[in-house]
Amino acid sequence: MTRSAASPDQEAVEAGLVEAVVASFDACSDPRLKELMVSLVRHLHAFIRDVRLSEEEWGAAIEFLTRAGHITDDVRQEFILLSDILGASMQTININNAAYENATEATVFGPFFVEDAPRVALGGDVAFGAPGEPCWVEGTVTDTHGNALAGARIEVWEADEDGLYDVQYDAAKRSARGHLFSDTDGSYRFWGLTPTPYPIPDDGPVGQLLDAVGRSPLRASHLHFMVSHPGCRTLVTHIFPEGDPIGERDSVFGVKQSLIKRFEQQAAGTPTPDGRAVEGTWSRVRFDIVLAPTGA
């Protein structure tokens, strides 16, 4: 519904309120907090005035946020999902992880990282029984000058072939995730699962919003990485299989061209790099990771 423009007198009333709210932060002793609040108020009021928000729409927004709060718990973060589907998460990543020389690009963190992932040895299996096609992942961790980074901590996590993370089954379950450390030459290797597309949790208010605006909840297939090393900027990223049917229609805008990798399908019976016996098909991918220096 088109709403009529405000009269000059009404414009003055609305502008006066904006300035009154902005002035309410004058005594704030934290300059950054004051900057954030003033900008937030100006942008929020500009949106309300631009769309001529109705009281019913305001109420619906409050109710939406309330439901998002109610469904959020220790393993389900609806507000991160909301940030993701609005591109706010990806934009924050872009701002805080500016391109630096040949460093690997970052992408969204996602809502399913947990701190207590089990450690696996180099060449170990992070699947821990999760269903899916086995995938051999290998690569190196270096700095932007090509120097090997030994002992880099590599956290990996992913959904299983049914599109679910371990914590979606049981908050205490740990599968299809783990951490390992790069070798003395910076190399790493592990068994995981071949990534498959899956929907973000769409049984809550964020899923209802996507449905209302005609958007898919599907994420492009991916494998999560978080890589850290002293003196380097911690990298949070994914890799995405080449030819994925979702591709850049990823519901959280996380796909970057440099992160699309070739997952090479292997026929049943093909020898594996470590001699592991695999029943059926498997895949392999190489992902060489380059970390930017701290402060870059």
Backbone angles phi, psi at 247, to 5 degrees: 55, -135
pLDDT of residue 171: 86
C-beta of residue 156 within 8 angstroms of C-beta of residue 192? yes
Give the C-alpha separation, 64 to 204, whole Å.
10
End-to-end CA distance of the chain: 47
| pLDDT (0 to 100) of residue 76 | 83
Using only C-alpha atoms, the chain has a radius of gyration, in whole angstroms, of 23
Per-residue model confidence (pLDDT) at position 146: 98
Which residue, 115, 120, 235, is CA-closest to 179? 120
| Cβ atoms of residues 101 and 249 within 8 Å | no
Residue 2 has what pLDDT? 61
Q: Count Cα atoms within 13 angstroms, Cβ side, for 39.
A: 6
Q: Which residues are 198's β-sheet partners?
A: 219
pLDDT tens for the chain, 296 residues long, are 567 788 999 999 999 999 999 999 999 999 999 999 999 999 999 999 999 999 999 999 999 999 999 999 877 889 999 999 999 999 999 999 999 999 999 999 988 899 999 999 999 999 999 999 999 999 999 999 999 999 999 999 999 999 999 998 998 899 999 999 999 999 999 999 999 999 998 999 999 999 999 999 999 999 999 999 999 999 999 999 999 989 889 999 999 999 999 999 999 999 999 999 999 999 999 999 999 999 88
Q: Which residues pair with 189 in a beta bridge?
A: 138
CA distance 296 to 291: 10
Structure token digits, residue 159: 């959904």
- Write the CB contacts of 72 (distance below 8 Å, at least 6 apart in sequence): 78, 79
pTM exceeds 0.85: yes
Pair 223, 239: CB distance under 8 Å = yes
The pLDDT of residue 1: 56
Closest by Cα among 263, 262, 233, 243 to 106: 233
pLDDT computed for residue 267 by the predictor: 97
Nearest to 192 by CA among 154, 223, 162, 146: 223
User: Judging by beta carbons within 10 Å of its beta carbon (0-12, 13-18, 19+), is residue 123 exposed, middle or buried?
Assistant: middle
Q: Please tell us whether the domain made up of 81-291 is placed in CATH 1.10.10.10.
A: no
Q: How many CA atoms lie within 13 A of 169 on its CB side?
A: 13
